[in-house]
Structure 1
Amino acid sequence: MVNKKQEAAAPGPVAPVRPWDLPRFRNWLAVARVHQLWKKVFGEALAPLGIQVAHYDVLANIAHVPGLTQQALAEKLLVGRSAMSMLLPELERRGLIERRADESDRRLRRLWLTPDGQALTERAMAIHVERLEAMMTVLSDAECDAVGEMMRRIAASMAR
């Protein structure tokens, strides 16, 4: 005969673990919320320039590495060819970028800012700097460095 203590100790159905049951969920959610809020705030700040965050990502990366290949840009931005095939022609039609064949390998297309693209990118980068400083001012330099180091460790772990 089974007594009440044995009955209470007997294994029953195991409840599935939910994300919010995990101790680290709160921190993950904070990172995700900051990312979403940044996209919203930065997107609103870029809107008067007639560009979206995705456009800015392309333009800023070409400004940083003139002559970047389309493939390298897609890898850097963690997007597929389809996303690039939508963004690049639009920026090209607007006269902001040029796509040129690589001199040594005609299969590669290299990306360059036009003078209009350079001017627009400079204005957008000024907005980026302003919003980034405003966002991060709530942290000390040491806290900011610690957050960055932690996020780089997480990214490296995920990339493996």
Structure 2
Amino acid sequence: MNNTQSLPWNNPRFRNWIALVRAEKAVVRELTRALAPLDLKIGQLDVMMNIYRHPGMSQQDVARRLLIGRSNITMLLPQLEAQGLIRREGDKKDKRVMRLFLTDDGEARLQEALKVYTKLIDRVMAQSTPAQCDAMGEQMRRIEEMLNEED
């Protein structure tokens, strides 16, 4: 920026956006720390939550739902499989498709992780009234939709 351009520091949109990003980073840091005793990373938890909610979904469906590339999901799944948390089964109709399921151990670990995650969410969201939480969620959904429309 040259000296004739205004700097964004005093712009409320810029200032509030930076606050949002910093808050997200703080939540990620805290969740990462809280999941460590369960030997889980946030990305693994995201995968497990989706498989739990949609048993038998394909690897591609999980990647699409989590907005990550197939190469990333290909790295996460073997880790979860090696820990005995998920299992992959070939699709009966299309042998190229792998269907994903949680194991009993995976379901138990997910339940423990959800307790940790819910506790953190409750702690963080207690900073806002229910109406503020709803407004924040609606705003984030509008931002996501707007940016997804531009893709």
The aligned counterpart of 1:33 is 22
Cα gap change, 1:23 to 1:131, in 2 (>3 Å)? closer
Q: In structure 2, list runs of 5 or more residues that go unmatched.
A: none
> In the TM superposition, what is the alpha-carbon distance from 1:20 to its structure 2 partner?
3.6
The aligned counterpart of 1:118 is 107
> In the TM superposition, what is the alpha-carbon distance from 1:117 to its structure 2 partner?
0.6
The aligned counterpart of 1:66 is 55
Matched, 1:156 2:133: no
Which has the larger Rg? 1
| Structure 1: distance between partners of 2:24 and 2:12 | 20
Q: TM-score, normalised by structure 2?
A: 0.91
Matched, 1:133 2:100: no
| Structure 2: distance between partners of 1:54 and 1:18 | 36
The aligned counterpart of 1:5 is none
Which one-letter code corresponds to 1:76 in the other structure? R
Q: TM-score, normalised by structure 1?
A: 0.86
The aligned counterpart of 2:94 is 105
> In the TM superposition, what is the alpha-carbon distance from 1:57 to its structure 2 partner?
0.9
| Structure 1: distance between partners of 2:87 and 2:9 | 47
Local SS of the residue matching 1:66: coil
Which one-letter code corresponds to 1:134 in the other structure? R
> In the TM superposition, what is the alpha-carbon distance from 1:16 to its structure 2 partner?
4.7
| Structure 1: distance between partners of 2:3 and 2:25 | 34
Residue in structure 1 matching 2:76, options 76, 82, 87: 87
Cα gap change, 1:131 to 1:23, in 2 (>3 Å)? closer
State the superposition RMSD in angstroms.
1.6
Moved over 4 A (4+): 16-19
